Structure 1
C-alpha cells in the first residue's frame, strides 16, 4: 500500500469521528482502534490542545504515514468558539468605527487603552480619541522605521520607497496635503502589483485573493505540517483562533469598506478613500492624521505581501531602529526646524502687510499664531507688567489666535490688557474688546492704526513701545 493510499485514510478516520453523537466523545482509544483496523501503523495517540494562540482540543495520531489532528470540537457552532467570535466581532466593529484595523506592532496594553477610549463614544469623538492615542504610537521615529527599513524590503513596495521617503520629509516640512496625495495611489498600485497574475480583476477581488493567500499560510503555520480537516484551516475558523488571521481579516475589511469603498457608498468620517480622492468628490481626505494612516497601512500591506508570496521580507516583528531609520528621522527633524524658520519669516512678512498667512489645506495657521502670540505676550507684556509690580494672569488665545487677554492685579487694583496678533484687526473686534479692556496692544508695527482702531477710546498701541503703569499702592 502506498504512502498516499495510507495517508488518504485520515479523511476516512475523520468521517467515522463525525458519525459520533458528539465530537466530544472522540478519544485516543477510538482513533487508535480505527487506525489499526484501516491498516495504519500507530506509533502514538494522545489527546492535547493543538495550534497557536487559541488552541483546539484534538486527538493526535502519530502513525508511520504522518501526523493527523482530529479536533474534539466542531469547526462551527461550538459554544466557546461562538462566544469568542462574538467578542472579536465586537472588537472588529470598534476598529471599523474609526476606520482602521487590528494593528500590528502595537503592544496589547496600548491597544486595550485605545479601544476602551473609543468604545462608548459616537464616531466623531471616537475618531478624536483614536487620533490622540495613535499620535503617541505612530510617532515620527515609528514612521521613519516603516519608511526606511520596512517598505524598502517589500518586493512590491520597494519601487515606491523613494516616493514614500520624499512624502515623509515633505509632510514634516509642511507640505502635508501633497504628501497624502502622493501616497493614496500607491495603495492601489501596490495591490495590483502584488496580485500581478490577477491584475485584470476589479481591485476588491484582487484584495480578496491577496488576503486569502496570506490567510492560507497563516493556517499552515497555525497547525504545522500535519493533516487536519480542511474546515479547521479555513479563514473563518481561524479568524477566532489565530491573531494573525484576525489582523489580516480586519485589514481586508478596512480596504473594502473604507479605502476602496465606492464614492456613493462611503459613509466614513476620515475621508481616506481612493475614489473620493481620485474623483475630487471631497477635499476632506487632506486631514493631517491620514498621513500616518497611509504610512502604517502601506507597511501592513508589505506584511500581507510577505505572507501572500511566503517571502517573509516584512516581518510581523517590528525592528529596532537602525542607521537608515535614525538618519531619516533626524533628516525630518532638520527639515522641520528649517521649515519653522521659514514659517516665522512668512508670518512676519504677512503681518507687516496687515494680513494673516493664507490657510493651507492641512494648516490654517492657528497653531503657529498661538505660539507666536504666547511668546510675544510673555516677552513684551507679562515681563514688563511683573517688573512694574503687577501679578499677572494670562488667558488662552481665542480660537483663531487673534488675541489673548491678560489681567494684572495688585491688591484691589486691576489692569485689563488685550494683546492682538496684529494691528490690522477688524474694527468690530477692537470695539468689542474695548468694552472689557483698559488697553489694547498689538504685535508688530502700527500699520494704519487710526483706521483699524477708529472710535476706540481705550489706549491702543504696539506692545513693544508700551510702558505699563506702576500700581498705585506702590507709588510713593
Structure 2
C-alpha cells in the first residue's frame, strides 16, 4: 500500500483531487520526496501542518468554527460530529424517528466500521499525536507539540512517516463521509501516478549515489 506505486497513486488520485486536500497536496508531495531522499525528519515535520490544515477544512465544511491553531479538543469535536453525521445520514438514512439511545457513538463503535475508523483516529490523537507533551509516554516519539517545539528529537523513523500518511488517509475517508466525492478503495495506478512513481524512484537512486551505494 505504501510502496512507491501506492504512494504515487495516493498523491495523484486522492491528495491532489480531494477538495479538502488540494491546498496541501504540493507540500504532501514534497514530504514524500524528502522521505525518498532519506530526510525523514523533514518529511515528518512537513506533514504535520497539512494534517492540521485538512482537519480545519473539514471542520469548516461541517459547521465547526476553527481557530487558527487547531487544538486536540477541536480536532476531536470535529471527528465526533463526523461520527454523528454517519449515524444520522448513513446508518439511519430515511428513518423518520430513531430512539435517542440508538444514536450514541459508543453503541455504534461496537459494530460499525466507519465509526470504529474515526474512533481509532480520535484515540491516536488524544493519546499520541496531540497529547500534551508533559503527559506523553508513547514509544514512537510522534507527538506534535514535542516535535514542533523541539522537546522530542528522536522521531525520525520510517514508520512514523507512514503513521502520518495513515492519518492523512483516514482524514480522506472523513472528507468523503462528510460529502466530498471519492472512492473509499485504495486508488489503482494511472498514467499520471506512474510518472510520479518514476520520479520518486529516480530520487531514491540519487540518494543511493550520494551515499556511495549506486
> Which TM bucket (shorter chain)?
0.7 to 0.9
Query: How much has 1:202 moved relative to structure 2?
Result: 5.7
Q: Deviations over 1:106-133 (max 9, x none)?
A: xxxxxxxxxxxxxxxxxxxxxxxxxxxx
Change (3 A) 1:150 1:202: closer
Q: Please give the alpha-carbon distance, in whole angstroms, between the structure 2 residues aligned to 1:151 and 1:274.
A: 21
Partner of 1:174: 38
What is the Cα-based RMSD across aligned positions, in Å? Answer: 2.0
2:23 is equivalent to residue 155 of structure 1 = no
Counterpart residue number, 1:98: none
How many residues are treated as equivalent by the alignment?
Answer: 208
Query: Scaled by the length of structure 1, what TM-score is found?
Result: 0.41
Relative to total residues, which structure has the larger helix share, 1 or 2? 2
Indicate yes or no: 2:190 matched with 1:322: yes
Structure 2 residue 72 is the aligned partner of structure 1 residue 208: no
1:255 aligns with 2:93: no
Matching residue of 2:66: 199
Contact 2:27 2:50 (C-alpha < 8 Å) held by counterparts = no
Q: Is the 8 A contact 1:147 1:295 kept in 2?
A: no
User: Following TM superposition, by how much is the alpha carbon of 1:229 offset from its aligned partner in structure 2, in angstroms?
Assistant: 1.4
Query: What's 1:301 paired with?
Result: 171
1:342-386 residue CA offsets vs partner (Å, 9 max, x unmatched): 221xxxxxxxxxxxxxxxxxxxxxxx6xxx9xxxxxxxxxxxxxx
Residue 117 of structure 2 contacts residue 170 of structure 2 at CA under 8 Å; is this kept in 1? no
> C-alpha distance in 2, partners of 1:332/1:324?
13
Using structure 2 for the length normalisation, give the TM-score: 0.87
**Stretches of structure 2 lacking an aligned partner (at least 5 in a row):** none
Residue 222 of structure 1 corresponds to: 91
Is the CA contact (8 Å cut-off) linking 2:20 and 2:58 kept in structure 1? yes
Q: Residues 85-110 of structure 1, C-alpha deviation per residue, up to 9 Å, x if partnerless?
A: xxxxxxxxxxxxxxxxxxxxxxxxxx
SS at the partner of 1:327? helix
Flag structure 1 segments of 5+ consecutive residues without an equivalent. Answer: 1-136, 345-367, 373-476
Distance (Å, rounded) in 2 between the aligned partners of 1:310 and 1:217 = 10
Change (3 A) 1:174 1:202: closer
Work out whether residues 148 and 165 of structure 1, in 8 Å CA contact, stay in contact via their aligned partners in 2: no
d(CA) in 2 for partners of 1:145 and 1:266? Answer: 34
Contact 1:143 1:296 in 2 (8 A): no
